[in-house]
C-alpha cells in the first residue's frame, strides 16, 4: 500500500486494532526513531456538527490521558489534527487485551484476575483523582503487557468531571454488556460507574463470559437493568469484590478501598471453586459508601499537624502481589463465615465488614438516618486491641450532618459549618460560623509509616521553624483506630495571644493512604475533646 505519514513524522506501518471510533496503527516516529501506536479516528454516518463534536472529544481524550501519570495508564505522546480529524500518538504496548486472552486461552486463574483487578483499579483511582471518568472499562481496553504490566487504554470516551458532557442526546457510548445500569438509564458517568464496569470485566475474566451477555444489544441492556448475573463458580474475597462492585444501586456499590482490600487478599490466596453451585445469586446489600478518589498526594505548605515532606508524591495503592500458580496459595475462607454465605456474596461481604476484617472499611454506614446505636469510640489507651467484631456504625449526632468528600471519606460535622477546599493539596476545612476553632482533614504522604515517629518528626520540624509560639506538648499517644495503628498528638500553643489546643490523629488506611484528623480551638479541654471524639467516631475512609 501507499506509504502514509501523519504530521510529516509518523509513518504508518500496519493496522493493529480497530474499534467503533477508529483504527490503531503501528507507526514509526521518524523524528525520535521509535515505534509508536497512532490512533486514527474515523467517523461513519455522522453530519458535520457531530464530526466537530467527536473531534472535540478526541482532542480532549489526548489532553486527559496526557495528564495522567500512572504505570497502568497508557502514555500519550502527541495529538495532531490532519485530514480533518485527530490522530493520537501513544506508547506502543506489546500486549494482548484481556478480552483476547480470555477468548484464546479461556478464563484466568482467580489470583491472576485479582492481580489484574488491583492494577486497573489503581489506574482508575488515578484518573478519578484527576476528575476523569473512563466510561468504557471492558476487557478489550485492559492490556496485559509482555513485560508483566496491566495497562488501561482508550480514554477516547473519557470526560472531565468539570466539563459538560458531550454525548449526543439519547445516545449511549460504551459496550452494553459492560455499561452499568445508571448509564443505561441515561445518567452521567461517575467514578462508581467505572467501578461497576470493572466488576463486570473481572467477572468476564473469571468466568469466561460477560455477566449479562445476551444475543442482542437490547436484550443485554435489559439484562443489565433487570437481571442477575449467573452464579460465580468461584468463592471467597474475589467473588465478593466482583459482586460488590456490580451492585445495581451506585449509592450502595462497594467502594474502591473496600474492593482493594478484598482483591489484595484474593491476589495472594487461592479461592475455593464450586462448579456445582446452583440457584440464583443473592445480591449483596451495601449501605451508602463514598467514592474513593485517593491518588497522589500533592506537596504543599504543612498545617501545624503535618510535616512538609519532600520527594515525589506516591500513589495510594500497595504494590500488586504477583499472581501465584494455581495450587500455590492457601484456601481463602474467612474464619467463622459460612461457606455458602461467602459463595453467594451477601454474608461474605457483610460479615467481612462486621468482623473488622477490612479494618477501615464500612464507608458511610454511619449515614443511616435515625440510627440510635451509641457511638463506639476507639480506645485512647496505648496498644489496645483492634476493633471488636460486630462493631456497630456510629450514630450521627443530633444537629449534625454527614459530609461526603471527594477526597474519599465521610465524616459528620455540625450543620451550618462552612466547607473550604485547598488548592494543590488534599485538605478540606470545616469551620463553624461566628466562633473560633476548625477541623482539617488532610492526606499528605510521608515516608515515615510509624504514626508515633511521624508525629515526633513533625514536632521537631515545627519547633525548628517556630510554627507554634508557646508550644507545650500534652502527649503523643499510640492507639488502634479502625483496627490499625494510629497516634494522637495533643498540644497547646499561643495563637493571637489566645491559648489554643490542638488534637491531631494520624493513621493510614488498610490500603496505606495516610490521613490526619486535625482539630484546634480555644483551650477548653471538655469542648475540644467532645468535638474531636465525634469527628474521629464518624470518620470513615
pLDDT digits (tens, 9 = 90+) for 154-199: 875 554 444 433 343 334 455 788 999 998 888 888 999 999 999 9
> Which residues of the chain does CATH 3.30.200.20 include?
4-91
- pTM score, whole prediction: 0.50
Please tell me which of 231-245, 324-338, 341-355 the model is most confident about, judged by mean pLDDT.
Answer: 231-245
CB 22 within 8 Å of CB 39 = yes
Active-site pick, 136, 360, 488, 537: 136
> Which pLDDT belongs to residue 236?
85
- What percentage of the chain exceeds 90 in pLDDT? 38
Pick the CATH number of 4-91 from 3.30.1330.10, 3.30.460.80, 3.30.200.20, 3.40.50.1970: 3.30.200.20
pLDDT digits (tens, 9 = 90+) for 92-113: 988 999 999 999 999 999 999 9
CATH superfamily of 368-538: Mog1/PsbP, alpha/beta/alpha sandwich (3.40.1000.10)
* DSSP letters spanning 259-292: HHHHHHHHHHSB--B-TT--SPPPPP-----PPP
* Active site (annotated) includes residue 354: no
Query: What CATH number belongs to 95-152+175-289+327-358?
Result: 1.10.510.10
8 Rama sector, left if φ>0, alpha if ψ -120 to 50, beta otherwise: left
Which residues touch 230 (CB under 8 Å, ≥6 apart)? 207, 211, 281
Cα separation, 247 vs 243, in Å, equals: 6
> Which residues of the chain does CATH 3.40.1000.10 include?
368-538
Mean pLDDT value across residues 389-407: 74
Mean pLDDT value across residues 236-261: 92
> Which residues of the chain does CATH 1.10.510.10 include?
95-152+175-289+327-358
- What percentage of the chain exceeds 70 in pLDDT? 70
Residue 346 scores a pLDDT above 90? no
> Which pLDDT belongs to residue 270?
52
The b/e string for 86-108 (b: 16+ C-beta within 10 A; e otherwise) is bbbbbebbebbbbbebbeeeebb
Residue 286 scores a pLDDT above 90? no
Amino acid at each position: 500500500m501507499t506509504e502514509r505519514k501523519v504530521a510529516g513524522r509518523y509513518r504508518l506501518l500496519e493496522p493493529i486494532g480497530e474499534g467503533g471510533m477508529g483504527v490503531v496503527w503501528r507507526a514509526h516516529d521518524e523524528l525520535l526513531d521509535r515505534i509508536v501506536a497512532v490512533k486514527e479516528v474515523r467517523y461513519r454516518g455522522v453530519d458535520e456538527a457531530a464530526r466537530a463534536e467527536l473531534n472535540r472529544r478526541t482532542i480532549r481524550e489526548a489532553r486527559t490521558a496526557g495528564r495522567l501519570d500512572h504505570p497502568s495508564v497508557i502514555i500519550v505522546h502527541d495529538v495532531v489534527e490532519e485530514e480533518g480529524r485527530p490522530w493520537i500518538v501513544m506508547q506502543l504496548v506489546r500486549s494482548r487485551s484481556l478480552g483476547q486472552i480470555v477468548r484464546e486461552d479461556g478464563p484466568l486463574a482467580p489470583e491472576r484476575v485479582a492481580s489484574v483487578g488491583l492494577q486497573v483499579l489503581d489506574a482508575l483511582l488515578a484518573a478519578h483523582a484527576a476528575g476523569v471518568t473512563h466510561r468504557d472499562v471492558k476487557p478489550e481496553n485492559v492490556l496485559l503487557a509482555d513485560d508483566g504490566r496491566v495497562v488501561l487504554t482508550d480514554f477516547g470516551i473519557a470526560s472531565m468531571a468539570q466539563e459538560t458532557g458531550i454525548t449526543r442526546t439519547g445516545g449511549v457510548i460504551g459496550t452494553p454488556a459492560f455499561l452499568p445500569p445508571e448509564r443505561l438509564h441515561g445518567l452521567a458517568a461517575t467514578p462508581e460507574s467505572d467501578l461497576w464496569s470493572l466488576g463486570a470485566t473481572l467477572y468476564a475474566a473469571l468466568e469466561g463470559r460477560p455477566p449479562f451477555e445476551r444475543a442482542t444489544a437490547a436484550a443485554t441492556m435489559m439484562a443489565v437493568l433487570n437481571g442477575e448475573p449467573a452464579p460465580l463458580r468461584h468463592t471467597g474475597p474475589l467473588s465478593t469484590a466482583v459482586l460488590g462492585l456490580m451492585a445495581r444501586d451506585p449509592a450502595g456499590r462497594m467502594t474502591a478501598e473496600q474492593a482493594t482490600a478484598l482483591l489484595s487478599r484474593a491476589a495472594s490466596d487461592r479461592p475455593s471453586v464450586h462448579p456445582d453451585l446452583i440457584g440464583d445469586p443473592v445480591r449483596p446489600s451495601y449501605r451508602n459508601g463514598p467514592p474513593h478518589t485517593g491518588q497522589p498526594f500533592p506537596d504543599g505548605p504543612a498545617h501545624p499537624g503535618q510535616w512538609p515532606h519532600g520527594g515525589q508524591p506516591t500513589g495510594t495503592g500497595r504494590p500488586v502481589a504477583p499472581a501465584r500458580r494455581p495450587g500455590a496459595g492457601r484456601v481463602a475462607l474467612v474464619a467463622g463465615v459460612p461457606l455458602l454465605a461467602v459463595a453467594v456474596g451477601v454474608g461474605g461481604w457483610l460479615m467481612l465488614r462486621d468482623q473488622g476484617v477490612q479494618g477501615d472499611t464500612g464507608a458511610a454506614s454511619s449515614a443511616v438516618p435515625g440510627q440510635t446505636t451509641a457511638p463506639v469510640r476507639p480506645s485512647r489507651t496505648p496498644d489496645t486491641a483492634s476493633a471488636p467484631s460486630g462493631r456497630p456504625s456510629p450514630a450521627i449526632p443530633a444537629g449534625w450532618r454527614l459530609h461526603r468528600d471527594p477526597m474519599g471519606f465521610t465524616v459528620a460535622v455540625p450543620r451550618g459549618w462552612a466547607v473550604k477546599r485547598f488548592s494543590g493539596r488534599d485538605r478540606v476545612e470545616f469551620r463553624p460560623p461566628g466562633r473560633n476553632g476548625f477541623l482539617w482533614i488532610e492526606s499528605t504522604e510521608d515516608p515515615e509509616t510509624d504514626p508515633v515517629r511521624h508525629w515526633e518528626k513533625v514536632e521537631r520540624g515545627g519547633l525548628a521553624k517556630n510554627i507554634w509560639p508557646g508550644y507545650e506538648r500534652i502527649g503523643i499517644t499510640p492507639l488502634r483506630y479502625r483496627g490499625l495503628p494510629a497516634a494522637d498528638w495533643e498540644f497547646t500553643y499561643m495563637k493571637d495571644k489566645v491559648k489554643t489546643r490542638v488534637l491531631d490523629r494520624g493513621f493510614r488506611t488498610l490500603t496505606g493512604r495516610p490521613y490526619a484528623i486535625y482539630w484546634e480551638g480555644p483551650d477548653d479541654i471538655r469542648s475540644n475533646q467532645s468535638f474531636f471524639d465525634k469527628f474521629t467516631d464518624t470518620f470513615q475512609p
